[in-house]
Amino acid sequence: MTVSSFFRSLLLEGAGVRPILTGDDRLVMAALLEDMRMIGINLNQVARALNSDRGVHPSELNINLENVQRIQAAVMSELRSLSRRAGYQRRGEK
């Protein structure tokens, strides 16, 4: 099992232990994963264009970089929220 498969299993399926994500959490993570996949496709297209000596307009690079930063901020926000909630659960707080 790859590292990414393990973490996907752990986060999305519970990996044989009590799941830490709610249904809403899973929906948010799935949406973020799809966004990251689409950004990856766009970055791949930019890399191919650059590697084949075709020009890439700077605005294309800026848009892709802004998308990466947006997703990174969203993932960090979700992870902070999950971490906070997990801490509350461990301490028996709501």
Q: Tell me if 8 is assigned to some domain.
A: no
Q: Tell me if 2 is assigned to some domain.
A: no
Q: Tell me if 44 is assigned to some domain.
A: yes
Helix (H, G, I), strand (E, B), or coil: what is residue 42? helix
C-alpha 34/C-alpha 49 separation (Å) is: 23
C-alpha 25/C-alpha 81 separation (Å) is: 10
C-alpha 45/C-alpha 42 separation (Å) is: 5
**In terms of residues, how long is the chain?**
94
The pLDDT value recorded for residue 3 is 72
pLDDT tens-digit readout, 57-86 = 888 888 888 988 988 898 888 888 877 777
DSSP letter at 93 equals -
Say which residue, 84 or 45, is predicted with more confidence. 45
Q: Tell me if 86 is assigned to some domain.
A: yes
Q: Tell me if 15 is assigned to some domain.
A: no
Parent domain of 81: 20-91
Cα end-to-end span (Å), the chain: 35
